[in-house]
Amino acid sequence: MHYPNGKKNDQTQKTLANVSKSHAFSNRGMTLEEDINAANAFYRDTGKASIHKKPTPIQVVNVHYPKRSAAVITEGYFKQPSTTDYNGIYHGRHIDFEAKETKNKTRFPLANIHEHQIRHMKSIINHGGICFLIIRFSAHGETFYMPAETLFRYWDDQINGGKKSIRYETIANEGHIVPFHYQARVHYLAIIDKLYF
């Protein structure tokens, strides 16, 4: 920044650099959920697939009415544990998946997944659906598709005393990197096409 006398204000320059740097880091990319929602909207708009985020069932206990036209929920509880984040249909097949984002650079903790979700995913597979996990390693800027069947091996292993996480290298080797597409920022249907169609 230059003042009218032509001199630069170095302190202002440093502050602006810090602000723009922190702004760049805070907006490096959308969150995984926002990216998937944008991809799903693109899939629906183009007639490619019909996949939606599942709403979390909530029991409303108390509602405040500040105006007749506006209601504010002031107390509520989750009715039951949620299953997975997304489901829908693609080429006549049921699609069901969970999405997780981690800041961990070296591993994905299995504590991010719950037993009732694994039971649900196994049920989807047993009924002929396509089920998977999308994992984003935000530190690496990479998003992976991991088939549920692969996830089950590591889940069962940790129950039997094995490791409580999956190494980044393992996910990179056994999973599939999800390509970035301008309109479908998490273009997971490209992986499903490769694996199933």
Query: Annotated binding site for Mg(2+), which residues?
Result: 83, 85, 98, 117
Q: What residue ranges in the chain does DSSP mark as E strands?
A: 50-53, 58-67, 70-78, 86-90, 93-102, 107-109, 130-137, 142-147, 165-167, 176-177
Tokens at residue 42, please? 């693109």
- Could you identify the residue written with the tokens 């909530």? 58
Annotated binding-site positions: 83, 85, 98, 117
| Sequence-distant (≥ 6) Cβ neighbours of residue 90 within 8 angstroms | 43, 48, 49, 50, 51, 130, 189, 192
